[in-house]
Structure 1
Amino acid sequence: MTISYIPLDKEKHKDLKINLQHDFGYAKEAHIAAASIREYAQLASVMPVVFVKDPNSENFHSVTMLGTEKGSNLFIHEGKWQVHCLPMNIQRYPFDVRPDGEKLGVFFDENSALITDDGEPVFTPEGEPSPFLENRQQLLSELANSEMATQRFIKKLVELDLLDPIELLVNYANGEKRNITGMFSVSEKRLQDLSEEQVVELHKSGFLGAAYAVLMSLGQLNRLVHLSNNTDKPIQNLQLRVGDAISKEQPAAEQPANS
């Protein structure tokens, strides 16, 4: 069913209830999810964090890799999330924060399968936000604030020329091979070559740790291989190429699409 976000209204939606016991069906086809700087450290312990470029605006965005195939989320198996960390952009569903006139407002997907008759109430009988909604509003506020910090971080990476293209060579157990390009990561060499003044500036802004978290997260590519064993298309191995090591004769880019 098509996703349709509408403004949350306490009068129109006073009886709205959300099912908290679900099988992550809304995320099973998401092979990437938006990632914010606030959660890099946690995400880096369980999944790769990379950058993709919007072909229209040319702006970079940070995302987590949830799979190597469009339409397949390796972190969901038999309705359960397979690791301890859940990206905030997946936690927030079916809610979102979006411009509503001159301010930001809470929206929800009116077509979401999580809307049920016996779920968690969004509003109290008095029409006030329920504890559940207050929790979600806090999460949405954190997401909005973290997104602004994330964009500042990415702007600094671009300014310092610290982004390198990366390529994944995927070998499947069935013999199929494919290259995944259109992604970027932090250049470890150029990060180490920064001046002392630049390093101090990154450290004071909280960006130095974030840069290294992104680098460390690439070690979680092996987790994708492991999780693929739960699918009908297991991965035999993944090979990562960075920057100058990328083949000059590579196929057309298979860029991750925003989920």
Structure 2
Amino acid sequence: MPNHVLLNNIDHKALRVDTGHDAALGDDVMFTVTFPAEFRSVQAHYPIVFHKDAQGELQPVAMFGFYQGKDRQGSNLFLDEGRWDATYVPLAIERQPFLIGRDGEQLMVHIDLDHPRVRSDRGEMLFRDQGGTTDYLDRITSVLMTLHDGLEGTPAFMAAMLRHDLIESFTLDVELDDGSLNRLVGFYTINEERLRALDAAALDELHRAGHLEPVYMVVASVSRFRDLIARMNRRHAAGH
């Protein structure tokens, strides 16, 4: 169970954070949440699709792999012997083990003390000897605020997509080089035919709201499925 507490330079002076990338550090996830302002960076490496959260609301996610096996466990194909094999790591991954919490109306940095990244023996320090924050914690604070602001804007983007009937479910069947079959279901994407059919007024509305560029970033990201398939083929060929 997570153990979220408000971060402070007295109780947590000695804490360090392991910034490596490994399954043991919680990185072996099939996807993570993203947001429209991040789409340009994300689409350079990962497919962007939509997935329903626990409340049944659609949200954009960056895909790292496919379901595998009868237990439908997903894997992260970007993990490679202790490193993340891409030049951009989505902010929702980078921010671990930190999160934003509220103290009244004020946003504050919290930390999950039970997260596997939290250590006392090695890793990035959070506070200087004099009590000030380190460059690492300053960076994380910036990441958290960017993530918070980005996620705040996601509902308006999703509402526009639904209003223009641009979201559709899809099924992706993948046959690997070894003959094994994998099916991706339960996700949604942009209906490109409906997007092309939008009239000038609808396109202008999306543009003025700042939604048009993110839509095309989602469309462009579909080509990244080829990279995921190639990564899975390499992993299977290596016997993993």
Alignment TM-score > 0.5, same fold: yes
Counterpart of 1:224 in structure 2 is: 228
In 2, the alpha carbon distance for the partners of 1:5 and 1:227 equals 35
Please tell me whether the aligned partners of residues 19 and 116 of structure 1 are also in contact (alpha carbons under 8 angstroms): no
> Unpaired segments of 5 or more residues in structure 1?
235-259
In 2, the alpha carbon distance for the partners of 1:10 and 1:123 equals 6
In 2, the alpha carbon distance for the partners of 1:130 and 1:72 equals 33
Change (3 A) 1:146 1:99: same
Counterpart of 1:34 in structure 2 is: 33
Matches within 5 A, 1:1-259: 2-20=1-19, 22-25=20-23, 26-54=25-53, 56-69=54-67, 70-114=73-117, 115-232=119-236
Q: RMSD value over aligned CA atoms? A: 2.0
State the shift of 1:32 in Å: 0.6
In 2, the alpha carbon distance for the partners of 1:179 and 1:232 equals 16
Please tell me whether the aligned partners of residues 30 and 74 of structure 2 are also in contact (alpha carbons under 8 angstroms): yes
State the shift of 1:28 in Å: 3.7
Aligned letter for 1:140? Answer: L
SS at match of 1:63: strand
Please tell me whether the aligned partners of residues 47 and 63 of structure 2 are also in contact (alpha carbons under 8 angstroms): yes
In 1, the alpha carbon distance for the partners of 2:174 and 2:237 equals 12
Aligned letter for 2:183? Answer: N
Please tell me whether the aligned partners of residues 66 and 182 of structure 2 are also in contact (alpha carbons under 8 angstroms): no
SS at match of 2:236: coil
> Unpaired segments of 5 or more residues in structure 2?
68-72
Identity of aligned residues (%): 27
In 1, the alpha carbon distance for the partners of 2:107 and 2:194 equals 38
State the shift of 1:61 in Å: 0.7
Further displaced range: 40-49 or 4-13: 4-13
